């Protein structure tokens, strides 16, 4: 494969920095763009001496002129506590930011991959979720800034394809976890692991019977690379996630096995519009990309616990005591 100039927006975040690492290993020139509102510079420290790496602090809500062969758009807070903190900025990032990136891709003829989300399905009435399902989203709820922002971004991408024949790719990412997650992320795996390492009770919302499907980050990165390298007629949207389905209570049991001890639990009220089921139908990913996840939950959690244990000393305060930390 020829070496590319690749722009990654939101590249200081969890998925962005893992993808940056992989692309640099392959010898590409990688430009990471991030406003650091949720991304972390420490995620990029390993790359600062690499001559093929460049960092630009920038908010994609403002136009930018950067020539790139490929663009990966990760820019947008993805955890409920983070995107609900400034909901107007969240929806601007998804919508206006996507417009700016699409205009940039149109100017330079770049291939552009947009990371959408399983949240476009809302609290689904179809299970597992298939790409043709149009969702059950509350457009005025507290999660709408993210859910509807991502839905509108998909609209923009497909309108640019129809009007300008832009080379677009759209994936819908389901819950992903692994090294370089922010310990202060507030999502269920980072929340549970960090609290367990600190000896704090786990916070379970509702009765813990709601389900999630957890994809290890290495599997996710492989899928994203297969998608960006796929034929131009493979556009998406394509679900990317692990179809293994676990209730929150089952996740607690897996962690108890890893920690070899009983973990205490505080049950809390279920937040507004929290989806009760998540499970991707990955038939399209298997057929069009030849992809399916390989790393099971136990192995992925073992790696994640090692990572969080190595960085936990950086975080002395308990960031997970608020009711806005959703699952």
Residue 62 lies in a domain: yes
Query: The CATH number of the domain where 58 resides is what?
Result: 3.40.50.720
Residue 291 in domain: no
Examine the domain organization and report whether 62 and 145 are in the same domain: yes
The question of whether 108 is a catalytic residue gets the answer no
Note whether 122 and 254 are same-domain residues. no
Q: What is the CATH number of the domain that holds 198?
A: 3.90.25.10
Q: Tell me the pLDDT of the chain (327 aa) as tens digits.
A: 689 999 999 999 999 999 999 999 999 999 999 999 999 999 999 999 999 999 999 999 999 999 999 999 999 988 888 898 999 999 999 999 999 999 999 999 999 999 999 999 999 999 999 999 999 999 999 999 999 999 999 999 999 999 999 999 999 999 999 999 998 887 899 999 999 999 999 989 888 999 999 999 999 999 999 999 999 999 999 999 999 999 999 999 999 999 999 998 988 888 887 888 999 999 999 999 999 999 999 999 999 999 999 887 654 433 333 333 333
For residues 159 and 303, state if they share a domain. no
Write out the two tokens for 117.
Answer: 């989300």
Q: Which domain holds residue 191?
A: 179-213+244-278+297-314
Rounded to whole angstroms, the Cα distance separating 66 from 107 reads 10
Q: How many CA atoms lie within 13 A of 58 on its CB side?
A: 20
Q: Are residues 165 and 45 in the same domain?
A: yes
> What's the pLDDT tens digit per position in 48-88?
999 999 999 999 999 999 999 999 999 998 888 889 899 99
Cα–Cα distance for residue pair 129/240, rounded to 1 Å = 11
Same-domain pairing of 184 and 230:
no
Does residue 286 form part of some domain? no
162 shares a domain with 51: yes
- Structural domains counted in the chain: 2
261 by Cβ neighbours in 10 Å (0-12 / 13-18 / 19+) ranks as exposed
* Those residues with Cβ within 8 angstroms of residue 159's Cβ, 6 or more apart along the chain or in another chain: none
Are 10 and 104 part of one and the same domain?
yes
User: What's residue 51's pLDDT?
Assistant: 96
- Whether 233 and 306 map to the same domain: the answer is no
Note whether 98 and 50 are same-domain residues: yes
The one catalytic residue in 108, 121, 133, 146 is 146
Query: Which of 215, 225, 224 has its CA nearest to residue 177?
Result: 215
> CA 208, CA 234: separation in Å to the nearest integer?
37
Helix and strand element counts for the chain (H, E) = 9, 13
How many residues are present in the chain? Answer: 327
- How do residues 152-199 score in pLDDT, each as one tens digit? 999 999 999 999 999 999 999 999 999 999 988 878 999 999 999 999
pTM (2 decimals)? Answer: 0.92
């Amino acid at each position: 494969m020829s070496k590319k100039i690749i722009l990654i927006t939101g590249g200081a975040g969890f998925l962005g920095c893992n993808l940056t690492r992989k692309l640099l290993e392959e010898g590409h020139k990688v430009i990471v763009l991030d406003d650091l509102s949720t991304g972390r510079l420490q995620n990029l420290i390993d790359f600062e001496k690499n001559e093929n790496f460049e960092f630009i602090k920038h908010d994609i809500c403002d136009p930018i002129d950067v020539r790139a062969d490929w663009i990966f758009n990760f820019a947008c807070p993805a955890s409920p506590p983070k995107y609900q903190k400034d909901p107007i900025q969240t929806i601007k990032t998804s919508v206006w930011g996507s417009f700016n990136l699409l205009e940039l891709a149109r100017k330079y003829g770049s291939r552009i991959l947009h990371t959408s989300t399983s949240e476009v399905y809302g609290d689904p009435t179809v299970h597992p979720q298939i790409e043709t399902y149009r969702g059950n989203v509350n457009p005025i709820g507290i999660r709408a800034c993210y859910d509807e922002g991502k839905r509108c971004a998909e609209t923009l991408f497909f309108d640019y394809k129809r009007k300008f024949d832009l080379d677009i790719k759209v994936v819908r990412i389901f819950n992903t976890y692994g090294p370089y997650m922010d310990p202060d992320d507030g999502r269920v795996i980072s929340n549970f692991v960090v609290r367990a390492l600190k000896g704090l009770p786990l916070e379970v919302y509702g009765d813990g019977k709601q389900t999630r499907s957890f994809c290890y980050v290495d599997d996710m990165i492989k899928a994203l690379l297969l998608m960006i390298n796929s034929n131009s007629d493979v556009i998406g949207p394509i679900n990317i996630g692990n179809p293994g389905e676990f209730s929150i209570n089952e996740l607690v049991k897996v962690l108890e096995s890893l920690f070899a001890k009983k973990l205490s639990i505080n049950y809390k009220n279920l937040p507004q519009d929290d989806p009760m089921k998540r499970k991707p139908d990955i038939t399209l990913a298997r057929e069009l990309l030849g992809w399916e996840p390989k790393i099971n939950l136990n192995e992925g959690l073992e790696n994640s616990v090692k990572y969080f244990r190595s960085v936990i000393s950086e975080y002395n305060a308990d960031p997970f005591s608020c009711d806005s930390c959703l699952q």
